[in-house]
Amino acid sequence: DVVMTQSPLSLPVTLGQPASISCRSSQSLVHSDGNTYLNWFQQRPGQSPRRLIYKVSNRDSGVPDRFSGSGSGTDFTLKISRVEADDVGVYYCMQGTHWPPQTFGQGTKVEIK
Amino acid sequence: QVQLVQSGGGVVQPGGSLRLSCAASGFSLNSYDMHWVRQAPGKGLEWVAFIRSDGSDKYYADSVKGRFTISRDNSKDTLYLLMNSLRADDTAVFYCATWYTSYAFDIWGQGTMVTVSS
């Protein structure tokens, strides 16, 4: 199974400041079809998860443009350009290239300083 | 309003069984591949099972293989997860969900708690 490793696991951020979360996979996530199926999910406190980013850098509907995804191969990053109070929660990367199983990272908890 | 409405959670003894349901509201389920994802208390997300839109393919996490069965009834717009031989480490909130791999679309149910305890 592909192991997804996130860092940091806890990220205190000042409102209005940027934040960055790293996600590394134990093997390349480039699929034989040429696509890289790396997703980012957000889970706000007490809520169901929702996807923010698919295929490394594509934002889902309704996702603010302060969220961006980048990376390739085994190294990926989720960036929040200016953190807002609404961004508090846990962020997970998930790979859908080598499955089953689809595997999640451990999660990164974003909180306001 | 497009949503997935879950039901069927609860408390069950070790070795017992439970069936979770996930009903589509505001859309038809028959075009969508579906997943179950779970989250143990205070822990991260774990993918559990997948079923193709027409039910032709099913996949499971090793941790539930042979004990859990995913199924669907597209005529009722409902997804199911039958859980047998439940163990304490199956205690979790279970979410049904669907997402497109290459397009902007995902929907998650509200989650249902399953507690395995004597």
Instruction: Please choose, from the candidates B21, B19, B99, the residue with its C-alpha nearest in 3D space to the C-alpha of residue A37.
Output: B99
Give B25's strand partners.
Answer: B3
Q: pLDDT digit string (tens) for B23-82?
A: 999 999 999 999 999 999 999 999 999 999 999 999 999 999 999 999 999 999 999 999
pLDDT category at B104 given cuts 50, 70, 90 is confident
Instruction: Please choose, from the candidates B3, B86, B95, B99, the residue with its C-alpha nearest in 3D space to the C-alpha of residue B44.
Output: B95
Identify the helix (H) or strand (E) that includes residue B97. Answer: strand B92-99
Mean pLDDT of A51-61: 98
Identify the helix (H) or strand (E) that includes residue B102. Answer: none
- What's residue B96's pLDDT? 98
Alpha-carbon span A55 to A34, nearest angstrom = 11
Cβ neighbors of B86 (< 8 A, separation 6 or more) are B12, B13, B14, B15, B16, B17, B18, B67, B114, B116
- Subunit contact A48:B108, Cβ cutoff 8 A: yes
- Subunit contact A100:B104, Cβ cutoff 8 A: no
Give B24's strand partners.
Answer: B4
- What's residue B3's pLDDT? 97
For chain A, positions 34-73, list CB contacts with chain B under 8 A: 35, 37, 39, 41, 43, 48-51, 54-55, 58-61
- Subunit contact A54:B37, Cβ cutoff 8 A: no
Say if CB B100 and CB B106 are below 8 A apart: yes
- What's residue B103's pLDDT? 86
Q: Cβ contacts (< 8 Å) between B57 and chain A: which residues?
A: none
Output b/e per residue, A41-60; b: 16+ Cβ within 10 A. bbbeeeebbbbbbbbbbebb
Q: Cβ contacts (< 8 Å) between A51 and chain B: which residues?
A: 99, 106
Best residue of A6, A51, A109 to probe chain B, by most B CBs closer than 10 Å: A51
Q: Is B17 on the interface with A (CB under 8 A)?
A: no
- What's residue B34's pLDDT? 98
Residue A33 above 90 pLDDT? yes
Alpha-carbon span B108 to A32, nearest angstrom = 28
